[in-house]
Structure 1
Amino acid sequence: MYGTERRQSSDTTSMTYLSQTHWRSRMTAARGIPATDELDFFATLDRRLLHRRAISEVFLTSMVPTSRDGFLAGAQLPSSHTYFTDHQQERRTLDPLLLLEACRQAETFAAHVLHEVPLDAKFVLRSWSWQQIGQAPELPAGPAELAIRATTSNPQVRDGMVRGLDYDMDLWLGGAPLGSVQLRASYLPAAIYPGIRRHGRGSNPPLSDGAVVQPTTQALAPHQVGRLRPENVVLAGLREEETGTAADLLVPVANPSMFDHPLDHVPGMVAMEAARQLALATTNDRRGSLSRTQVTSLHGEFGRYLELDAPITLHAAPTIGQPELIQVSLRQQGVEAAAIRVGLSAADAVTGSRS
C-alpha cells in the first residue's frame, strides 16, 4: 500500500512551477544563515508543496537547509482539531499521527524544494516509524511549536531526477526531545504512474470521490477505539479469530483530514490509523478502558496499494513475549498489503531511549 498524491486540478503548471522556484530560491539564499535564526512559526508554507488542499490541514511553517543532506523544519500543531485531538484520554497528549503528518509535510516540501522533485511527481510511501522518548507531552493550552531536524540518505537518482530518499528525523517541543521518525519514500514521474497502476491492478483505479467499496458489517463505537467522534472511526465488524482479532476497514472518504483530496488508493495515514484503532480495540477487550492507554511507537511497511474497490481486512495479534507490541496486518484479496506494529503502554509509563 502506497502513499501517492494526486495533483490538484486547480493548480496550473505555471503556478506550481513559480511556487517551487520561489521557495527554492529562498532556501538557497538561507544556506549561509544559522538555521535557528530562520526557523519561525509565523505562517504556514504553500499548501501545494505539501500536497494539501485545505489550508487548515497545513502545519509546516518553515524550513532551512543545514547541509547538503539535512534541514531544520518548524510546524505549528493545533491544540484543537476534529481529527488529531479527538481522543479518549485522561491526559490530552500529542497524537503520534499528528507528528507523523508534520514529518510527512516536511519530507514533501523538502523533496520539491531542496531535491527538485517535480510538482506533478507521485509520492510513494514505502515505510515510516515513530518512537517516543520519555513520557508523551500534554497538549499545551495554545498551538504547539514543533522543531524537526532531518537527515537524508540513500538517494536514488535516475535520468537526473531523485527517485527515492530515506529521512531520519528528530523531534523537539519547547526544547525537549519528543522522539524520532524514520521515513522512506519514492518519487515516480507523472508520465509513468498511470501505467504502473494499470499494470499492477489490470485496470485504471477509481478515485475516492467516486464509488468506494465499504464493509457491510457494523461500524465500531468511538469508545471502542479510543475516539469521541463517530466520523473518526475507521473500523467495522470487530471479531475474534483463532490467531487474534480482526476487523474490516471503513474507508473514511468523507473525512477531510484523512482524505484531504481525491486519491486512487487508501493512503498510508489511514492504514496507520486503522492499525492503531485495532490495537487499541484489542487492549480495550483485555483492560476494559482506553483512557490511560498511550501509543508509544509505530512502524509501518507498505508493499502494495490498498485499492478502493475491494474489501480490506485487518488482523491483529500481540507479539510473543512482548504483549505491548501489537502486530497488525492489512490484507486485500488474500494478500498482505501493509504490516504495521503498534507499541502501547499505560499513560504514566515512560519509554526507553531512542532505538
Structure 2
Amino acid sequence: MQFTRTLPRELVHRAAVAEVFLTDAERSGRDEVLLAAQLPRHHAFYHDTLGPRTRHDPLLLLEACRQGIFVVAHRYFDVPLGHKFLLRAIDFEVPDPAALARGDRPTEAVVATRVEHRFRTRAGVTGLRLRFTLAIGAREALLARIDYSWMPPQDWTRLRARQRGALGLPEVPVALSVAHVDPVLVGRRDPANAVISPPRAADDGSRTALLVADTSHPTLYDHWVDHVPGMLELEAFRQLALTAAVAAGTVRTPTALPVGLAVRFRCFAEMDLPLECRAVADPAGTGVECTLHQSGALAADARITLADPDAPGRPAVLAAPAVHGAV
C-alpha cells in the first residue's frame, strides 16, 4: 500500500484535495479490499479541541472509512461517477484508545474492508454493508460498519423534488440562520466548528438544541449538497451529547472522546427547516441517547458512548445495524 499521493478526489466525493485522506486501494479477495489512509497532523476541524492535541478524533478515522464506501462502489461494483449516495446506518467503536495517539508525522493507517451484505432490488445491487477495521501500526484504532445505497442522478432529482414539494419547500434550499453555541461549551476553539445552537435544559435532564447548517464550512460542506450531510448530523449529536454528559456528571469536560456510536438515518434532513436535536445522558454510565426531529418526524437517532481522554471507557460491542431511511 502506498502513502505518497491521495486517490483522485472525485473517487471519494470530495472537492478539496486537502480533504482526501485515502491514498490507495487494493482488492484482496472477492469481498475484501485494503485501503490506505494518511491522517493529517493537524486538521482545522477534526483537531480543533480545547483539550490536549495528542489524539486523533475518532470521527476523523470514521471519515476515512466513509470515503472508502465510494471507492468500493466505484472501483469494485462499477457504480458510475455521478451516482448519488445515501448513508443509512453507521456504527463504530474504538477498541484501543491509545492507538489514537498523534505523533510528529502524519499518521499512516491501513483499513481492512469487508463486504458483509449486498442490498438488491430488481435492478441489481443498489447498496452495501461494509465492515472496516482501521489499524495504525499493529493496533486496531477503529472498528466500523456502514450501510449505504446509491441511485442514478435522475432518480435522485425526482426523489428530492417529490420530498421537498411535499414539505412546501423550493427546489433549491437556503440554509436557516441559527445562532452558534459558545464553542467552549462543546470543547471547540473555533466558533465555526460549533454546529448547534445554545442548548436548553429540560426538567427531565435532557438537552435540546437546533442544528446549525453552515454551507460555507470547508469540511462539513466540502461541496454542495441539497440536504444536511450525515457527518454534520453526527457532529451535532456529539456536541449536544457532550453538554448533556457534562451536566449529568458522567464526563468531566466537553473534550471527552466519542469511543462508541450507533446511528440510524431515517429520512433526509432539510437545511431550510428547523432541526431539533435532543440528548439524554445515562446517569449510570457514559452513554447518551440522541434524536434529531424535523417537522414532527424522526430524521435520525443515535447512541454515543463518551470517555474522558485520560480515562477512556469501554465502548459497547459493535452490533449489526438494520437499514433505515436515507440521509
TM-score of the alignment, normalized to the shorter chain, above 0.5: yes
Kept in 2, the 8 Å contact 1:197–1:205? The answer is no
For the residue of structure 1 that corresponds to 2:5, the secondary structure is: coil
Distance in 2 (alpha carbons) for counterparts of 1:292 and 1:332: 28
2:75 pairs with 1:113: yes
Kept in 1, the 8 Å contact 2:119–2:127? The answer is yes
Length-normalised TM-score, structure 1 = 0.83
- Equivalence for 2:256: 293
- Equivalence for 2:140: 177
Distance in 1 (alpha carbons) for counterparts of 2:197 and 2:42: 26
Kept in 2, the 8 Å contact 1:248–1:311? The answer is yes
- Say if 1:214 and 1:351 are closer, same or farther in 2 by CA, change over 3 A: same
Structure 1 unaligned residues grouped into runs of 5+: 1-38
Alignment equivalent of 1:52, drawn from 14, 21, 25: 14
- Report how far residue 349 of structure 1 moved: 2.7
Kept in 1, the 8 Å contact 2:25–2:33? The answer is yes
Structure 2 unaligned residues grouped into runs of 5+: 319-327
- Equivalence for 1:101: 63
- Say if 1:292 and 1:311 are closer, same or farther in 2 by CA, change over 3 A: closer
- Equivalence for 2:3: 41
Kept in 2, the 8 Å contact 1:134–1:350? The answer is no
- Equivalence for 2:226: 264
- Equivalence for 2:280: 317
- More displaced, 87-96 or 147-156? 87-96
Distance in 2 (alpha carbons) for counterparts of 1:219 and 1:201: 26
Alignment equivalent of 1:226, drawn from 187, 193, 209: 187
Kept in 2, the 8 Å contact 1:295–1:345? The answer is yes
Kept in 2, the 8 Å contact 1:117–1:162? The answer is no
What letter is aligned with 1:262? W
What letter is aligned with 2:273? A
Kept in 2, the 8 Å contact 1:168–1:183? The answer is yes
For the residue of structure 2 that corresponds to 1:148, the secondary structure is: strand
- More displaced, 129-138 or 44-53? 129-138
- Equivalence for 1:167: 130
After TM superposition, the runs of 4+ consecutive aligned structure 1 residues lying more than 3 A away are 157-161, 203-207, 286-289, 350-355
For the residue of structure 2 that corresponds to 1:285, the secondary structure is: helix
Kept in 1, the 8 Å contact 2:245–2:288? The answer is no
- Report how far residue 69 of structure 1 moved: 0.8
Q: How does 1:120-199 map to 2 (within 5 A)?
A: 120-136=82-98, 137-158=100-121, 161-199=124-162
For the residue of structure 2 that corresponds to 1:145, the secondary structure is: strand
Kept in 2, the 8 Å contact 1:214–1:311? The answer is no
- Equivalence for 1:76: 38
2:199 pairs with 1:238: yes
- Report how far residue 308 of structure 1 moved: 1.5
What letter is aligned with 1:227? R
Kept in 2, the 8 Å contact 1:88–1:290? The answer is no
For the residue of structure 2 that corresponds to 1:269, the secondary structure is: helix
- Report how far residue 159 of structure 1 moved: 5.6
Distance in 1 (alpha carbons) for counterparts of 2:36 and 2:269: 31
- Say if 1:90 and 1:347 are closer, same or farther in 2 by CA, change over 3 A: same
- Report how far residue 68 of structure 1 moved: 1.0
Distance in 2 (alpha carbons) for counterparts of 1:292 and 1:262: 29
- Report how far residue 352 of structure 1 moved: 4.1
Q: Alignment length, in residue pairs?
A: 312
C-alpha offsets along residues 165-184 of structure 1, whole Å, 9 cap, x if unaligned? 00011110022111200000
What letter is aligned with 1:231? A
- Equivalence for 1:7: none
For the residue of structure 2 that corresponds to 1:133, the secondary structure is: coil
Q: Percent identity?
A: 31
Kept in 2, the 8 Å contact 1:224–1:284? The answer is no
- Report how far residue 281 of structure 1 moved: 1.4
Kept in 2, the 8 Å contact 1:238–1:246? The answer is yes
What letter is aligned with 1:119? L
C-alpha offsets along residues 73-102 of structure 1, whole Å, 9 cap, x if unaligned? 000000111101111213521111111110
Length-normalised TM-score, structure 2 = 0.90
